[in-house]
Structure 1
Amino acid sequence: MRNKFKYSSRIDCEVEDLFDFHKDTSNLEAITPPDIKVKLLSSNFNANKNEILKLKTYKYGIPATWEIQISKLEYPNLIVDTALKSPFKHWEHSHIFREYGFECVLEDSIEYELKFFNNIARKFVEKQLTAMFEYRHKITKNILEKKSKKQ
């Protein structure tokens, strides 16, 4: 059974800046929580449709290799990446960017399925995802709002 996870926040920036920030995979390290290490194995940092990005993550010292394909790219509102290889049986991550008055809404929507113990481990995984995306959104907000104020 597939699980769904969503996390959203508001950011005072242009929707195009939010989209471009997420399209540039070199920003991934900056928004990754300190307890997770991420190493980009792909040399192209600007994600394009159908491109496959390779990376390695380490959590609790345990390595995980990811191969992610950019399955949808709709400027400036949507980036969808689908895992071809990951610790999950299924992983599809939608990055949704919407204007909301003078701000933007950043929404991360994930459909996932664990390889083992899906029903038992789901609560633990959702707690981990909440902590990770809370951190990511906070850092993204700080970076983009500082940039927005400079312009």
Structure 2
Amino acid sequence: MQTFIKSSYINCDIKSLFDFHIDTNNIKKITPTDTKVELLTKDFKPQISKILKIKSTKYFIPMLWEVKIEKIDEPSLLVDVALKSPFAFWEHKHIFIKHGNMSELKDVITFNMPFGIFGKLFEWFVRNDLQKMFDYRHKITKEILENRK
């Protein structure tokens, strides 16, 4: 099992940060420009056990994702687990922590590569890709929420 963590501080209240992430329409806004995202489940409202279907395309390769909402603890936690994805296992914890007038956005991804030992050969690529993707996501989230004031 591999773990990837990205954390940022945003000048906003924790409820605004949580509400931004619970709104699936914002997925497209925070997705890097080299990736196309299509929400196949329309008007999705995250609730425990509900499943969101997404099609993402990167490097001209379409990937179907089905993610199940495992846990919601408003306003501090949202956990989703992939039922279908390019990974053997994928869990994404969206953690929101209040720090005075600031909020911390912390993404914790736990994953396993597919194809056993052969998949491990690509872990460096996946980690690099995750770093770029979550750097972008945190940057855009910060810009959007800090400019709402």
| TM-score for the superposition, normalised by structure 2 | 0.96
Equivalent AA in structure 2 for residue 120 of structure 1: L
Whole-angstrom CA distance in 2 between matches of 1:120 and 1:102: 43
Cα drift, residue 92 of structure 1: 0.2
SS in structure 1 at match of 2:47: coil
Counterparts in 2 of 1:20-99, with a 5 A limit? 20-99=19-98
List per-residue Cα deviations over 1:88-116 (Å, max 9, x = no partner): 00000000000112200000000001112
Q: Percent identity?
A: 49
Q: Which ranges of structure 2 fall in alignment gaps of 5 or more residues?
A: none
Whole-angstrom CA distance in 2 between matches of 1:142 and 1:14: 14
Whole-angstrom CA distance in 1 between matches of 2:136 and 2:17: 16
Q: Which residue of 2 aligns with 1:102?
A: 101
SS in structure 2 at match of 1:34: coil
2:116 matches 1:128: no
| TM-score for the superposition, normalised by structure 1 | 0.95
SS in structure 1 at match of 2:49: coil
SS in structure 2 at match of 1:21: helix
Cα drift, residue 48 of structure 1: 1.4
Whole-angstrom CA distance in 2 between matches of 1:56 and 1:43: 12
Cα RMSD, aligned residues only: 0.8
Q: Which residue of 2 aligns with 1:8?
A: 7
Whole-angstrom CA distance in 2 between matches of 1:123 and 1:138: 23
Larger helix percent: 1
Q: Which ranges of structure 1 fall in alignment gaps of 5 or more residues?
A: none
Cα drift, residue 118 of structure 1: 3.4
Whole-angstrom CA distance in 1 between matches of 2:50 and 2:16: 21
Displacement over 2 Å in runs of 4+: 116-119
Whole-angstrom CA distance in 1 between matches of 2:57 and 2:113: 18
Whole-angstrom CA distance in 1 between matches of 2:120 and 2:52: 29
Cα drift, residue 46 of structure 1: 2.3
Cα drift, residue 119 of structure 1: 2.4
Whole-angstrom CA distance in 2 between matches of 1:136 and 1:64: 19
Whole-angstrom CA distance in 2 between matches of 1:45 and 1:30: 16
Residue-pair matches, total: 147
Cα drift, residue 121 of structure 1: 1.1
Whole-angstrom CA distance in 2 between matches of 1:7 and 1:33: 16
Cα drift, residue 63 of structure 1: 0.3
Cα drift, residue 16 of structure 1: 0.5
Equivalent AA in structure 1 for residue 141 of structure 2: T
Whole-angstrom CA distance in 1 between matches of 2:137 and 2:101: 21
